[in-house]
Amino acid sequence: MTRASRSGGTKVGALKRTWMGGTAGYLLARNLAFKHAPAAANALMRLTNISGRGRGRDGSEAVPYFRGVAEDYEVIARAAGVAESRGSIFAGKRVLEVGPGNTQAIAMVARARGALHASGWDAFDVVSRDRAYLNAIYEPLLDAIGDEGSPARVIELLGECRVHATRAQLEKQAPFDLVISRAVLEHVRDLETLHRDLAALTTDDAVVIHKVDLRSHGHQLTHDLDFLLFSDRAWNGLTTHIGEPNRARFPRYFEIGERHGFRTLYAASTRVISRSEAERIRPRLALPYRDMSPDVLSVLGFWVVQVKPGHPLASRAIHPESLQPAPHDALAPF
């Protein structure tokens, strides 16, 4: 190694340490705010309209997003072989959406496409949202999917649908035939309990479709995996009361699901970095990440379709060690 390369490495190392210190300070400040003043912190999130779907996606501007989200579930269901035609994934089902956020737009689309019932599971309060705010999304969305965009139709579809905060509340609506989520599971700290609860809330032949985002969610300096430089102890201590990524890599989701009776039928990557990029940073990552293969570390997002043991396709379960690409041309660009 030359003196110049050693000097360059030292500068990069110092920059990384400075970045890690700044990131830790930011996370700590947010964590303390949500721990000691949760009402004020949540009020600020509501005031700044943090919805999880990006800024500017309210009213009619939200229609392409929600339409795309609903259609993505249908595309992936067909790719997995658990649905034959458009809309059939919802028809006749009791649907549970994990993490619907600040609307029930997907529940409404599911109902419009034949779902018997749709519930949400989220700590975010959507019930108190201004009805005008919600209808400005719901009505044009119904028009866009070929339904009737009217207040009466919204009430008809969502009249019995609720978003619940606890498993105990959901048990009154259970069992569910279909569970869906998008960019939610990566924020769940206790994945074991979530899967245990989902197993208890679903029928023996249920279908589960998750889209999981394994990216850093903005916590990187020069590399997509910079957020794995922190030890688990440090990261978890800084994020006890905020929804930062749990940092689990894709095999863990399959392993946990398997333990709780969910058989993987289909898994496909949504975002990847090159194997060489993963290999480049791997020696500097904290444990256990530095011991993971570049093939695992390179996956920054994935779709997974799982079924319960009573599903007719359960015998086709797979145990993927690497992922095929998702059918990007058929999916929404969100």
Q: Helix/strand/coil (H, E, C) string of 159-216? A: CCCCEECCHHHHCCCCCEEEEEEECCHHHCCCHHHHHHHHHHHEEEEEEEEEEEECCC
pLDDT at position 189, please? Answer: 93
Distances (CA, A) of 263 to 209, 223, 310: 12, 33, 10
CA angle 136, 48, 212 (to 5 degrees): 80
Q: Is the pLDDT of residue 50 over 80?
A: no
How far apart, in whole angstroms, are the C-alpha atoms of residue 117 and residue 94?
Answer: 5
Q: Is the pLDDT of residue 78 over 60?
A: yes
Summarised one tens digit per residue, pLDDT across range 170-222 is 999 999 999 999 999 999 999 999 999 999 999 999 999 999 999 999 999 99
CB 283 within 8 A of CB 293: no
Model confidence, pTM: 0.92
The percentage of residues in the chain with a pLDDT greater than 90, rounded to a whole number, is: 80
Mean pLDDT of the chain: 92
Provide the CATH number for the domain around residue 53.
Answer: 3.40.50.150
How far apart, in whole angstroms, are the C-alpha atoms of residue 49 and residue 56?
Answer: 9
Is 10 part of a structural domain of the chain? no
CA angle 60, 66, 72 (to 5 degrees): 150
Return the beta strands (E) in 72-126 as ranges. 94-98, 117-121
CB 213 within 8 A of CB 129: no
pLDDT at position 88, please? Answer: 87
Q: Could you check whether the bond before residue 288 is cis, i.e. omega within 30 degrees of 0?
A: yes
pLDDT at position 45, please? Answer: 65
Is 77 part of a structural domain of the chain? yes
Give the confidence band of 47 by pLDDT, cuts at 50, 70, 90: low
Is 157 part of a structural domain of the chain? yes
Summarised one tens digit per residue, pLDDT across range 253-300 is 999 999 999 999 999 999 999 999 999 999 999 999 999 999 999 999
Tokens found for residue 330 = 């058929």
Q: Count of domains in the chain? A: 1
How far apart, in whole angstroms, are the C-alpha atoms of residue 36 and residue 69?
Answer: 35
How far apart, in whole angstroms, are the C-alpha atoms of residue 317 and residue 238?
Answer: 37
Residues 6+ apart with CB under 8 A from 100: 106, 107, 120, 121, 122, 124, 126, 163
Enclosing domain of residue 137 = 49-214+249-330
How far apart, in whole angstroms, are the C-alpha atoms of residue 1 and residue 5?
Answer: 6
Summarised one tens digit per residue, pLDDT across range 137-178 is 999 999 999 999 999 999 999 999 999 999 999 999 999 999
